[in-house]
Amino acid sequence: MAAGALPGQILITGGRVYDPATGKSRRVDLAVKRGRLVEPESLDRGKTTVIDAAGCLITHGFIDLHAHFREPGREDKETLASGAQAALAGGFTRVCVMPNTEPPIDSPEAVRALLEKSAGLPVEIMVIGAITAGQQGVELAELRAMRAAGAVAFSDDGVPIRNGQVLRHALYYAKDLGVPLINHAEDPDLRGAGVMHEGALSTRLGLPGNPALAEAAMVYRDLLLAADTGGRLHVPHLSTAEAVAQVRAFKAAGAHVTAEATPHHLALTEELLAGYDPMAKVAPPLRSESDRRAVVAGLQDGTIDCIATDHAPHTVEEKEQDMLQAPFGMIGLESAFGLAHTALTEAGLTTEKVLDLLTTGPAGVLNLELQPLQPGAVAELVVVDPAAEWTFGPEHIHSRSRNTPALGRRLKGRVRATLSPHGLYLGH
Amino acid sequence: MTEPTVSLTHLLGLEGVSAADIQILLDTGFTFREVLDRPIKKVPTLSGINVVNLFFENSTRTRISFELAEKRLSADVTNFSVGGSSLDKGEGLKDTVLNIHAMKMDAVVMRHPVPGAAVQLSRFVDAVVINAGDGSHEHPTQALLDMLSLQERFGRLKGLKVGIIGDIAHSRVARSNIFGLLTMGAEVAVCGPGHLIPPQVEALGVSVVPDVDDLLGWADAVNVLRIQRERMGAGLIPSVREYRAGFGLTNERLARHKREIIILHPGPINRGVEIDSDVADSDQAIILDQVINGVAVRMSILYHLLGPRAAG
């Protein structure tokens, strides 16, 4: 819904409010007036949009640390506007966009341009700048100037910084900026031409494998660098048991590191590749069931701080290619809550814990404080129905792209509505 | 007399193909082998059936073998070879599919450099798909001709001990032989440089024998894989002499084993690399039987997969 069409007053009734900022739940109605929470009594008489939240939880809007909105350069896959709609439909009110655009976001001008362009979108776009000029992994980009322009983190995205000294310098250089550096956690040489998890299945299928140790080796190096420099490292999309264990050990030793896991790595496994489906091709790859369980355990015990989508749109044409040519990546915003909630509650986590991993978890990584859901706060809300069982289908996709192996899956837990100061999504 | 029929629609690989189906394909292969020994080698079985040999990768031998098989069965044959360059330009599977639809083909024999290409193609076309090799995944017709040759020589496959020597990791011949032979009750061991043995290959049901001499002491037959020159280019095999010393089927090595071991090779042979010239030309080697059996077993496959269309 466009900003101009937003209702001035909204009342969410009959649900339970779970405030991740306080960890407390209460059965109250929430009222929103002109983008802010107000006392229900203070609503004007007359036109109020009422959202029936019976059986639902209302909480802070989700925050995604890892999305690709492809603007500028590949607007055929996604734009800031289409990505924002997808995010809103997935319950997100803030999204960090990765800098691997064409050209990459590696200057303060580029950061500012992206922020200006995204003003007024239904979700808040937060910009991640490149660590090195042109994502080339050689020369440091203008991290300080980009931070001043509003960048919230730095990453060369899918291109791992191969040269350890470059990342070491960056960690030192950015130390006082208070924002994390994110390095794609795969050793590019060990990963080689791998298109799926290396193991018995890749051997059977004859597809080049990407070994678990490609992730473990890079994560270990990066953790050493973080411990050595005292810099802020955030490890993206953990997918292997080994890497989860390493993060756990370094955290216990006091390193300033945080980590994320994607809905697809915590819910899906390599078995989806058995029929040679390019939709399931992603980097890092979908792993074994024991890796998946290790990722879930990492989320459960706090080793992994949050869920991030790595929403990566690609065109139909690209994903119709063979297993070697088709690009890596899948979209994830619209299915994130359903996939994560299904897999994590099955593993014994509470719905509230899943909501933490989508709200306070990512906020903590970025050192953001979430306002308690009280009158006066900016209205960033999501209404979820934890008991709703549904089949994820193309009709639920708002992204410009449709590349996801989650299509057709039965999910438990669904976003009913999302509110932000500039947007309202009402589902079914 | 009702003829046995196979339960296959396509031949994408030997993984998951039943022993009964493999046996039917081999038995009919023997029948066609006799046809090939006749003065007039042609039968009208697939008259009016359109087959395209779609080769995205060079392979003179496999293509000619298929072409012969198709012509002996009186099918109408179209050859379509796409060089590596146009593949690089993005001539993808999708356009292949559309072309096959447009040409109204009954069957597609496809060789493709990417694993799974035949499986993907079969999801989108009405035509019968026969995999003539998809990257390092499968080469089912090669394995069937290997099995036909072994059965011809030994009279059985069950209980046979078969070794496969070479770059197992990148070999579609190895994978198809493993799947097919295990289904037929044979035992299979693989041997090769450690980094060219694929991870967790034991999960397929084979054993790994690192030493060639140990393998030769155990095996009734060995399948010697061709060493691809590009593996040497990539630095995976240091030198010809080192490979030959470590894994080659040399005269000296075979002389140490008194028992006669039957030797297969999918061709083309690198004489003096993976196999010595004298060994390849010896009575132990059934490499030329494999060639004629290749035509026979491909006739069998075409007959069983396309026969119903021809009859209908």
Please tell me the distance from the alpha carbon of residue B296 to that of residue B290, in angstroms, as a whole number.
Answer: 10
Across A1-10, A29-38, B188-197, B230-239, least confident range: A1-10
| Assigned domain for B228 exists | yes
- How far apart are the CA of B120 and the nearest CA of chain A, in angstroms? 7
B70 and B157 fall within a common domain: no
- How far apart are the CA of A55 and the nearest CA of chain B, in angstroms? 42
- The stretch A18-35 carries a mean pLDDT of 95
B246 and B152 fall within a common domain: yes
Flag whether pLDDT at A298 surpasses 60. Answer: yes
Percentage of residues of chain B with pLDDT beyond 70: 95
Across A34-38, A120-124, A179-183, B94-98, least confident range: B94-98
Query: What are all long-range contacts of A217-223, with beta carbons under 8 Å and residues at least 24 apart?
Result: A217/A187, A217/A190, A218/A160, A218/A183, A218/A184, A218/A185, A218/A186, A218/A187, A219/A185, A219/A243, A219/A246, A219/A247, A220/A246, A221/A164, A221/A187, A222/A167, A222/A183, A222/A185, A223/A247, A223/A250, A223/A255, A223/A257
pLDDT at B311: 73
A116: which 2 tokens? 């200006």
Q: Is B217 on the interface with A (CB under 8 A)?
A: no
pLDDT at B95: 77
| Assigned domain for B133 exists | yes
SS3 labels along B60-128? HHHHHHHHHHHHHCCCEEEEEECCHHHHHCCCCHHHHHHHHHHHCCCEEEEEECCCCHHHHHHCCCCCE
Confidence of residue B259 (pLDDT cuts 50, 70, 90): confident
B82 and B213 fall within a common domain: no
pLDDT at A340: 98
B123: which 2 tokens? 């999801």
B151 and B221 fall within a common domain: yes
B174 and B265 fall within a common domain: yes
To test the contact with chain B by mutation, choose from A279, A317, A323 the residue with the greatest count of B C-beta atoms within 10 A, namely: A323
pLDDT at A3: 41
B246: which 2 tokens? 């470590």
Please tell me the distance from the alpha carbon of residue A237 to that of residue A243, in angstroms, as a whole number.
Answer: 10
For residue B125, what are the domain limits? 19-137+293-311
Q: What is the ipTM of this complex?
A: 0.92
Give the torsion sign (CA, A220, A226, A227, A232).
negative
pLDDT at B280: 95
Percentage of residues of chain A with pLDDT beyond 70: 99
B131 and B258 fall within a common domain: no
B283 and B144 fall within a common domain: yes
| Assigned domain for B114 exists | yes
Phi, psi angles (nearest 5°) of residue A341:
-65, -40
Confidence of residue B234 (pLDDT cuts 50, 70, 90): confident
User: How does pLDDT run across B119-159, given as a tens digit for each residue?
Assistant: 999 988 889 999 999 999 999 999 999 999 999 999 999 99
B269 and B304 fall within a common domain: no
B261 and B302 fall within a common domain: no
* Cβ-defined contact of A199 to B200 (cutoff 8 Å): yes
Please tell me the distance from the alpha carbon of residue A146 to that of residue A316, in angstroms, as a whole number.
Answer: 34
Flag whether pLDDT at A1 surpasses 80. Answer: no
Which run of H or E residues covers position A209?
Answer: strand A209-210
Which run of H or E residues covers position B129?
Answer: strand B128-134
Distances in Å between the Cα of B112 and the Cα atoms of A322, B62, B118, B234 are 10, 12, 8, 21
- The stretch B252-271 carries a mean pLDDT of 91
Classify residue A23 as exposed, middle or buried by CB count within 10 Å of its CB (0-12, 13-18, 19+). Answer: exposed
Flag whether pLDDT at A44 surpasses 90. Answer: no
The strand pair at A124-129 and A92-97 is best described as parallel
B76 and B210 fall within a common domain: no
Confidence of residue B2 (pLDDT cuts 50, 70, 90): low
* DSSP reduced 3-state for A32: strand
User: How does pLDDT run across B17-46, given as a tens digit for each residue?
Assistant: 999 999 999 999 999 999 898 888 889 999
Q: Is A206 on the interface with B (CB under 8 A)?
A: yes
Q: Is B112 on the interface with A (CB under 8 A)?
A: yes
User: How does pLDDT run across A190-239, given as a tens digit for each residue?
Assistant: 999 999 999 999 999 999 999 999 999 999 999 999 999 999 999 999 99
Nearest chain A residue to B170 by CA distance is A206
Flag whether pLDDT at B257 surpasses 90. Answer: no
Nearest chain B residue to A205 by CA distance is B137
> Which parts of A210-288 fold into alpha helices (H)?
212-229, 241-252, 263-267
Q: Is B93 on the interface with A (CB under 8 A)?
A: yes
From the list B116, B169, B199, the residue facing A322 with the nearest CB is B116
Flag whether pLDDT at B88 surpasses 60. Answer: no
- The stretch A286-304 carries a mean pLDDT of 98
* Cβ-defined contact of A206 to B172 (cutoff 8 Å): yes
More confident residue, A153 or B104: A153
| Assigned domain for B2 exists | no
- The stretch A86-113 carries a mean pLDDT of 97
Q: Is A198 on the interface with B (CB under 8 A)?
A: yes
User: How does pLDDT run across B197-216, given as a tens digit for each residue?
Assistant: 999 999 999 999 999 999 99
pLDDT at A4: 45
| Assigned domain for B165 exists | yes
Flag whether pLDDT at B83 surpasses 70. Answer: no
**Which residue ranges form the domains of chain A, and what is each CATH number?**
3-57+375-426 (2.30.40.10), 61-365 (3.20.20.140)
Percentage of residues of chain A with pLDDT beyond 90: 96
Nearest chain B residue to A324 by CA distance is B114
| Assigned domain for B229 exists | yes
Q: Is A133 on the interface with B (CB under 8 A)?
A: no
A271: which 2 tokens? 């078995």
Please tell me the distance from the alpha carbon of residue A373 to that of residue A380, in angstroms, as a whole number.
Answer: 9
- How far apart are the CA of A142 and the nearest CA of chain B, in angstroms? 37
| Assigned domain for B260 exists | yes
Neighbour tally for B146: CB within 10 Å? 28
B123 and B163 fall within a common domain: no
B158: which 2 tokens? 């069950």
Total tally of structural domains belonging to chain B: 2
Which run of H or E residues covers position A155?
Answer: strand A153-155
Helices (H) and strands (E) in chain A, counts: 14, 20
Q: Which of B137, B132, B234, B145 is nearest to B193 (CA)?
A: B234
B278 and B305 fall within a common domain: no
More confident residue, A225 or B3: A225
Give the torsion sign (CA, A45, A48, A53, A58).
negative
CATH at B222: 3.40.50.1370
| Residues of A with Cβ-Cβ distance to B197 under 8 angstroms | none
Q: Which of A406, A398, A400 is nearest to A91 (CA)?
A: A398
| Residues of B with Cβ-Cβ distance to A276 under 8 angstroms | 115-116, 119-120
Most confident of A5-14, A147-156, B258-267: A147-156
A377: which 2 tokens? 């706060």
Please tell me the distance from the alpha carbon of residue B302 to that of residue A2, in angstroms, as a whole number.
Answer: 60
In the sheet that B107-112 helps form, which strands lie side by side, from edge to edge?
B76-81, B50-55, B107-112, B128-134
Complete DSSP assignment for B258-311: -S--EEE--S---BTTTB-HHHHTSTTB-HHHHHHHHHHHHHHHHHHHHHHHHH
Q: Which residues of A are catalytic?
A: 310
CB A341 within 8 A of CB A386: yes
- How far apart are the CA of B196 and the nearest CA of chain A, in angstroms? 11
- The stretch A53-61 carries a mean pLDDT of 97
* Cβ-defined contact of A204 to B117 (cutoff 8 Å): no
Confidence of residue B84 (pLDDT cuts 50, 70, 90): low
Length of chain A: 428
* Cβ-defined contact of A322 to B94 (cutoff 8 Å): no
* Cβ-defined contact of A205 to B94 (cutoff 8 Å): no
Flag whether pLDDT at B92 surpasses 90. Answer: no
* Cβ-defined contact of B116 to A204 (cutoff 8 Å): no
Q: Is B205 on the interface with A (CB under 8 A)?
A: no
Flag whether pLDDT at A2 surpasses 50. Answer: no
Confidence of residue A326 (pLDDT cuts 50, 70, 90): very high
Q: Under the phi-then-psi rule, with left for phi > 0, alpha for psi from -120 to 50, and beta for the rest, what region is A141?
A: beta
CB A212 within 8 A of CB A303: no
| Residues of B with Cβ-Cβ distance to A207 under 8 angstroms | 115-116, 136-137
The strand pair at A30-33 and A9-13 is best described as antiparallel
Give the torsion sign (CA, A297, A299, A303, A309).
positive
| Assigned domain for B93 exists | yes
